[in-house]
Copies of this chain bind each other. A is one copy, B any other.
Amino acid sequence: MKKIGWDKNCYYIDGKPVFLACGEFHYFRVPRKDWRKRLELWKETGGNCVATYIPWILHEPVEGDFRFGDIPERDLEGFLTLCAEMDLFAIVRPGPYVYSEIVHAGLPPWLIENYPDLLLQAIDGRTFPESGVVSYLHPLFLEKAKKWYDKICPVIAKYCLSRGGPIAFAQVDNELAGIQIWLSGGYDYNREAMGIGREGGRYPCYLENKYRTVEAMNRAYSTDFAFFAAAEPFAGSPAEDGQRRRVKDYEDFYFTAIGEYALTLSGWMDSYGIDCDIVHNSPNPDSNTWVTETAAAFIKKGKPFLLGSDHYYTLNQDWAQNNPTPQYGVRMFYSFEILRLMGYPPSVFEMPGGSPSDWPPIQKEDLECCYFLNLAMGMKGFNYYVFTGGPNPLGIGATGEIYDYNCSVSATGEIRPTFEAQKNFGLFLKENSWLAAAERHVDFHIGYVKAYTRSAKWFGSEKKRFSNSAAWEFVRKGLIPCAFGSSLSPALADLESREFLEDLSKPLYIASAASMPAGAQKKAAEFLRLGGKIIIGPVFPELDEELNPCTILRDAAGAGPSGKLIAPWPLINTTGGSPVSGVMIETPLYQSPAPQGAETIAVLNPSAAHYGAPGGSPVGWYKGYESGGALIYLGAWFSYGLLTQGAMLRSFLFRLAGTKPLVECDNPNIWTSLFRSGDKSALFVINHYSSRARASVKIEKDRRVCFEKRDLILEPMEVKRIVVDQ
């Protein structure tokens, strides 16, 4: 077996940059007699790795009665041996949870039946035995799970790469926190596991570690708990800041506990000599930051950890789309950006290979579009879920007797049209493996504040202050699609990391809430002081991450406190430069008094002046600073839908920093993404609609056109790839 490694840029096989091309292949579903044939088919698509769950329910159906290799469906070692023989890496996923449309989400049924104490508890004490939702850190659960790990880890260790086996990565548990949050509606409040109300319990210890004194905690919470162990989590929707802090702290504590659980599982693996890197799969783009504390815990322990995300577009009729729409593309984009900022080569550990539903159908053109779209948005590795399936053994299947999943290779081994999509994709990756190490071109940065992605429960929506979630929504539904629709290529910049301070040439758009961590405010202020260019709005932050007063950034800009502007049908006009008239934006609208010498660059359109502020009211200003830095404040935010919004964004970036898109596409519906490595470039031109489209693209540098393609015709759901060697 070759060596496999990774860094923040990409994966490497024997030191050469590659795409991780993995396919989910369940030894317990695919008939053993068909393994070889189907693995050959997998390799035909360019696959270099397979992944499989190892379901606890299958190998310990009765407590204490462990079974391996007694029937073909339990011949894990035979499977791993074959993978090594066929030169395929393997990712093993031994749970405890696996989900995978297996009953009890893969936990053995005797677990909850016999040990109901280990169930998760909702804040009101309810448990969910039917849904099999356990409390990860309950000592009973850890005890039973360890016994499972005691049996499975030696097997995994035996087949690690270091020992000549195929196992390159091992995943702890599955979509951590997912089953708890989705099925209980909230976090784990199991008193035993979380130590609520118990001296020395995890929760009181977390609080003590954070606040040091009970007085400080009570001040933050507006409570009068006598000691840390008396603290109870806040139930319900928080209505004032003390309650908000309690909800936020419990959430952060909860995810810290998740991290402890993950590290515990990893520690068990260590103790059996499993020396491959640990991976994990966030359930979807909006859950990537659930794994923040877990990632930090692994770093602190000096243990390699690689987080990927799961990127389905439809698994049933209720999903937001039947095929890869631009909105799906936006979510994939910020998912990859978040993973990149966390230090990982952006990976899709569950890329659609099919669907558990027959309808809406998974279609070849859609799948191919999905794959190339993910690639265009920054993907460096993927795992098709699933590549192929087969009969569900021993009644463990939750969705039927056969796990066909409408894959490219059916449960009975037939090749479906979607196989061609996988082959096409694999061929492209093989012919362009240089792309794995290539960099995506970026025109400007959009500020990223991790806390904004995790504020829905404590600062999600509020009438008085512009909330964290609203700011993140401005990024997701406003700035990102607006950028792509205006030929601009954005990237997220982590405001709490120093990296963005190193590139002053790229202007930075900060979608800011009333709250922003002090560290982020400091770095943004430093960016300005170093000569950086910022657009910020719709408000200047006035609070830090604990909702305590903090105006570092506002002070650095010399601005006054942001206040709401009444304008029920807000249209704004930009002034100066290339003015844009009648840009529609969302309510609420804001104003922040400008520093001396600032120039008004946006005003309320007179037609908007009904029952509110008068037309001409200033809503944005531009200010140049002595440091060479410059700042545009715009008291508006928007959900992208209008070309005028794009024109406004472009005019501000140009005004601020002379920024123009490197790649210009004349069709605003057709989005592009450019990658470069040395002399090679790959331009992706994306038509994620159901109609044929025409678009012209050109690349202009220093007023010289160095690349142009006129009147490209793109088929429905086509992602054109233009690879250039120059």
Contacts and interface: CB of A to CB of B under 8 A. Distances in A.
Interface of A: 103-104, 109, 112-113, 129-132, 316-318, 320-323, 325-327, 356-361, 363-366, 392, 395-402, 477, 481, 485, 566, 568-569, 571, 581-584, 605-612, 639-644, 668-669, 689-692, 716-717
Contacts of A717: 690-691, 716
A610 B104 contact: yes
Contact of A129 (B477, B611, B692, B716): B611
13 contacts: A112-B611, A130-B611, A317-B327, A317-B639, A321-B321, A326-B359, A357-B641, A358-B642, A359-B485, A359-B668, A401-B605, A401-B607, A691-B717
A221 to B, nearest CB: 27
Contact of A607 (B320, B392, B481): B392
B396 A568 contact: no
Given A131-B568, A401-B582, 13 more contacts: A113-B611, A316-B639, A316-B641, A321-B322, A322-B689, A359-B485, A359-B642, A363-B691, A365-B690, A365-B691, A399-B569, A690-B690, A690-B716
Contacts of A327: 317, 322, 360
A485 B317 CA distance: 13
A604 to B, nearest CB: 12
B690 A481 contact: no
A182 to B, nearest CB: 14
B112 A363 contact: no
A642 B355 CA distance: 11
Contact of A644 (B318, B323, B400): B400
Given A610-B104, A690-B366, A691-B365, A584 B641 contact: no
A204 B699 CA distance: 71
A276 to B, nearest CB: 32
B689 A568 contact: no
Which residue, A318, A400, A569, has most C-beta atoms of chain B within 10 A? Answer: A569
Nearest to A401: B582
Contact of A364 (B132, B360, B643, B691): B691
Closest 7 CB pairs of A and B: A395-B607, A357-B641, A690-B690, A398-B569, A400-B582, A363-B691, A401-B582
Contacts of A112: 611
A652 B328 CA distance: 38
A610 B359 contact: no
A317 B360 contact: no
B641 A610 contact: no
B359 A641 contact: yes
A321 B112 CA distance: 41
A131 B569 CA distance: 9
B606 A668 contact: no
A640 B690 contact: no
What is the copy number of this chain in the assembly? 2
Main secondary structure of the interface of A (DSSP, over half): loop
A358 B668 contact: yes
A339 B398 CA distance: 40
Nearest to A327: B317
Contacts of A364: 691
Nearest to A394: B607
A366 B323 CA distance: 15
Nearest to A392: B607
Contacts of A607: 103, 392, 395-397, 401
A701 to B, nearest CB: 28
A129 B610 CA distance: 11
Contacts of A640: 317, 359
A109 B400 CA distance: 60
A463 to B, nearest CB: 11
A720 to B, nearest CB: 16
A283 to B, nearest CB: 19
Contacts of A130: 566, 568, 611-612
A537 B690 CA distance: 38
Which residue, A359, A365, A605, A609, has most C-beta atoms of chain B within 10 A? Answer: A359
A577 B398 CA distance: 25
A649 to B, nearest CB: 13
B323 A611 contact: no
A692 to B, nearest CB: 8
A374 B326 CA distance: 25
Nearest to A112: B611
Contacts of A363: 689-691
Contact of A689 (B323, B610, B668): B323
Nearest to A606: B395
Contacts of A360: 325-327, 641, 669, 689
Contacts of A109: 610-611
Contacts of A395: 606-607, 609-610
A327 B319 CA distance: 11
Nearest to A566: B130
A326 to B, nearest CB: 7
Which residue, A322, A608, A669, has most C-beta atoms of chain B within 10 A? Answer: A322
B317 A361 contact: no
B399 A571 contact: yes
A323 B132 CA distance: 38
Contacts of A358: 641-643, 668
B322 A400 contact: no
Nearest to A567: B130
A183 B503 CA distance: 45
A691 B669 contact: no
Contacts of A643: 358-359
A136 to B, nearest CB: 20
B610 A103 contact: yes
Contacts of A644: 400
A197 B32 CA distance: 75
Contacts of A322: 321, 325-327, 689
A326 B321 CA distance: 11
A472 to B, nearest CB: 15
Contacts of A132: 568, 611
Contacts of A571: 398-401
